[in-house]
Amino acid sequence: MKWQKTLPFVLSHVAVLGAFWSGVTWQAVVLCVVLLFVRVWGITAGYHRYFSHRTFKTSRAFQLFLAILAQSSSQKGVLWWAAHHRVHHKLSDQPGDVHSPVQNGFWYAHVGWLFDDTEETRWDKIRDFAKYPELRWLNEHWAVPPTALAVACFLIAGWPGLFIGFFLSTVLLWHNTFLINSLTHVWGKKRFDTTDESRNNLLTAMLTLGEGWHNNHHHYQSSCRNGFYWWEIDVTYYVLKMLGWLGIVWDIREVPEHVLEEGRRRDRGEIEDVTPAPRSEKLSLAA
């Protein structure tokens, strides 16, 4: 039943109100801010740029770390997340794209799709990472990392640590992520011609450490960098570059110069109508 699927989601929001009973401490606030930032990065660098699009390479050990960090956000399993995201790119804003506001409206795209028979992992879309038994285990037992984190927050800062440190940061994290599905296909600038309504949006780029440069990403999803130009702040990419200097990640895929030049010409108004690139080229990593 749908109410059984929505109950944990609703109760997580209600749990934040427990802070009126427990009070709020500075330790809990610090936990909230740190966990929000770190787990947003875990989603953007792990779930999205690594597992969904393979925009850089890393070791098997750091791959597992990225999966655990991303799953601490309580957004289901790493293979489930990446497989669904690949389907989103393949069918973006077309029938079958379950989190498209164009197809289903803003609120369904924001949260409704989560509870509408989407709990199965699309194994045919994630064969490359499904070969790792540790990732399959994590995907099946996806609640282990967030549960362990919730317990740790309680042990560190008591009830305020649980209600504010864990639940508030998790709720904020969820809606940060969901805004990319809902808002950035409705509001923002469409620099590149794409086959969908993806937009570049400064607000969501700030909230999600770079994911809001969504039209850039949908135009050339193979790049590790969503903010194509220096003025498009992309914190996720900056951290990955630093990890590259340390040798933790490597083969970071950059934006080709011809794509950058096309964007510059469009920004200058020199190109008013660009024929979209063949869909097969854009979706090479989503199939």
Q: Of 219, 223, 242, 234, which Cα lies nearest the Cα of 55?
A: 223
Are the CB atoms for 84 and 118 separated by under 8 Å? yes
The Cα–Cα gap between 250 and 48 comes to 16
Neighbouring C-beta atoms of residue 1, cutoff 10 Å: 6
- List the beta bridge partners of residue 250: 57
User: How high is the mean pLDDT of the chain?
Assistant: 90
Band (285; pLDDT cuts 50, 70, 90): very low
pLDDT digits (tens, 9 = 90+) for 21-80: 999 999 999 999 999 999 999 999 999 999 999 999 999 999 999 999 999 999 989 999
Q: Specify the DSSP class assigned to residue 283.
A: T
In this structure, are residues 235 and 207 in contact, taking their beta carbons and an 8 Å threshold? Answer: no
Q: What is the pLDDT of residue 154?
A: 97
Nearest to 263 by CA among 212, 219, 201, 199: 219
Owner of token pair 């317990």: 151
Task: List the structure tokens of 185.
Answer: 């296909």
Q: Looking at 128-142, 209-223, 240-254, 268-282, which range is the least confident one?
A: 268-282
Structure pTM? 0.90
Bridge pairing between strands 57-58 and 249-250: antiparallel
The answer to whether 196 touches 92, Cβ cutoff 8 Å, is yes
Q: Read out DSSP for 183-250?
A: GGGTSSB--S--SS---B-HHHHHHTTSTTBHHHHHH-TT-S-SS-STTS--HHHHHHHHHHHTTSEE
Q: Write out pLDDT tens, residues 121-172.
A: 889 999 999 999 999 999 999 999 999 999 999 999 999 999 999 999 999 9
Give residue-wise pLDDT tens across range 92-105.
Answer: 888 888 888 888 88
Predicted pLDDT at 5: 65
pLDDT, average across residues 207-226: 95
Token representation of residue 261: 């030049």
pLDDT, tens digit, 9 for 90 and up, residues 233-253: 999 999 999 999 999 999 999
Q: What band does 271 get if pLDDT is binned at 50, 70 and 90?
A: confident
Q: Which residues contact 5 (CB under 8 A, 6 or more apart)?
A: 114, 115, 119
Which CA distances in Å does 148 have to 15, 144, 152, 211? 17, 6, 6, 27
To the nearest whole percent, how much of the chain has pLDDT over 90?
70
The stretch 279-286 carries a mean pLDDT of 37
Closest-CA residue to 62 (of 134, 128, 118, 3): 134
* Helix, coil or strand: residue 164: helix
